[in-house]
Amino acid sequence: MKKYLSLVKFSHTLFAMPFALVGFFIASTGASGGLSWRLLGLVVLCMVFARSAAMGFNRWLDRDVDAVNPRTRMRELPAGVIKPKSALLFVIVNCLFFIATTFFINRLCFFLSPVALAVVLGYSYTKRFTWLCHLVLGLGLALAPVGAYLAVAGRFDWIPVLYGLAVMLWTGGFDVIYALQDEQFDQEHRLYSMPAFFGKARALRISEWMHLGSAALMVYAGRLLHSELPQANDLLWLGTGIFLALLFYQHRLVKPDDLSKVNLAFFTTNGFASLIFGTLTIIDLLI
């Protein structure tokens, strides 16, 4: 179990899970039936299964590339800790569990489950042909608030979609920062990424613009949420403000000629940003 949790970087679930819970509680606040703990459990399981499948598939597909990259050669598959066939079976099982779980939510989520899997699994191929791969990764995480809202409401709404777009740009932006570490390797092995295509300095500037777009969407979504649910007020804006502050703080940590704090910017800063925003917004909705 420990090996597989390490394979899929289970701790990175922290990025999208708070936004999924925000989508869930937004829908639950406006639902006539109120909060369903059973449904909440199913949504959390869907998040875990979908992300585990996506990450496991990414590791399986990239095993040969990871084996020759000094930064990744000690990952579970290239290091021989987990066999490729076992990793692929792990992916298939998680996909089946994800689809099965959506069956117990509602028909719309069940019918859309293959589409969600196509997005989160398809990302792994994109680095082989487009530098837009960072946004495809973001699109996979953007499904979290939208899917969780659909689980409760059974329909689409602008607020979770806006939060989803904010997540897409936020994720794409910090994934560009993370990819700075592999600029030379990606160029040598004809892999596509913004740092490899545009260079570190221009890629960082694109990342900044992505995060500006994410900030604008977060504010707009917050205004719509407050107009529809007036009880969402002080803590919502406090959480949004802290999220935006940490969003811009990470760009002070990383420079084109200094990547020593990439991990701090990538995981710690973004993890806290998502957790704080999600916690404060949910508390605001509940009280």
pLDDT in tens, 114-145: 999 999 999 999 999 999 999 999 999 999 99
Which CATH number fits the domain that encloses residue 124? 1.10.357.140
What Cα–Cα distance (Å) separates residue 279 from each residue in 20, 32, 246, 275?
A: 12, 23, 15, 6
- 258, β-bridge pairs: 255
Measure the CA–CA gap between 12 and 27, rounded to whole angstroms.
25
User: For residue 104, what pLDDT is reported?
Assistant: 97
Query: In this predicted structure, which of 12-16, 225-229, 248-252 has the lowest mean pLDDT?
Result: 12-16
Q: Closest Cα to residue 60, out of 89, 33, 95, 19?
A: 89
pLDDT, greater one: 58 or 7: 58
pLDDT in tens, 195-237: 999 999 999 999 999 999 999 999 999 999 988 877 667 899 9
User: For residue 33, what pLDDT is reported?
Assistant: 61
DSSP category for residue 19:
H
Asked if residue 8 has pLDDT above 70, the reply is no
The pTM score is 0.94
- Indicate the pLDDT class of residue 51, thresholds 50, 70 and 90: very high
- Indicate the pLDDT class of residue 264, thresholds 50, 70 and 90: confident
If you write DSSP's letter for every residue of 144-195 in order, what string do you get?
HHHHHHHHHHSS--HHHHHHHHHHHHHHHHHHHHHHGGGHHHHHHTT---HH
Range of the domain at 201: 2-286
Number of domains in the chain: 1
Residue 56: HSE in the Cβ half-sphere, 13 Å Cα cutoff:
24
Query: Residue 96 has which token pair?
Result: 């089946």
Determine contact, residues 183/57, Cβ cutoff 8 Å: no
User: For residue 227, what pLDDT is reported?
Assistant: 86
